Amino acid sequence: MYQDETLTCRDCGREFVFSASEQAYFAERGFQNKPTRCLECRRARRAQNNGAQTYTIVCAACGKEDTVNFEPRGDRPVYCRDCFRAQREARY
């Protein structure tokens, strides 16, 4: 029913995929409009609105750049959301 769409972020200008599963999620919740920001910009905007500071990190596992809501200390590895979730699931 839904197909992946490539959209352009209005904040950073990068292209991002509005996946079929995201489209189903939006429809299920009654959202009428497509997202105008990529996931990173949505997270940054949400954090800014909540008054929380975000920090840009490079994942210790995959090397991908991501943001976190805590200041990395440097003595422990910091992971992107995907790698953190994968490690957490592997433990349980």
What pLDDT is recorded for position 53?
80
Based on the fold, state whether residues 36 and 1 are members of the same structural domain.
Answer: yes
Based on the fold, state whether residues 66 and 80 are members of the same structural domain.
Answer: yes
What pLDDT is recorded for position 3?
94
Based on the fold, state whether residues 22 and 12 are members of the same structural domain.
Answer: yes
What pLDDT is recorded for position 24?
93
Q: What domain range is 20 assigned to? A: 1-52
**Domains of the chain: total:** 2
Give the model confidence (pLDDT) of 2-39 as tens digits. Answer: 999 999 999 999 999 999 999 999 999 999 999 999 98
Cα–Cα distances (Å) from 85 to 47, 48, 66, in that order, read 20, 24, 14
Give the model confidence (pLDDT) of 38-90 as tens digits. Answer: 988 998 888 777 777 888 999 999 999 998 888 998 899 999 989 998 988 88
Angle at 85 between CA 81 and CA 86, to 5 degrees: 120
Based on the fold, state whether residues 60 and 37 are members of the same structural domain.
Answer: no
Based on the fold, state whether residues 48 and 58 are members of the same structural domain.
Answer: no
Tell me the three state secondary structure of residue 9. coil
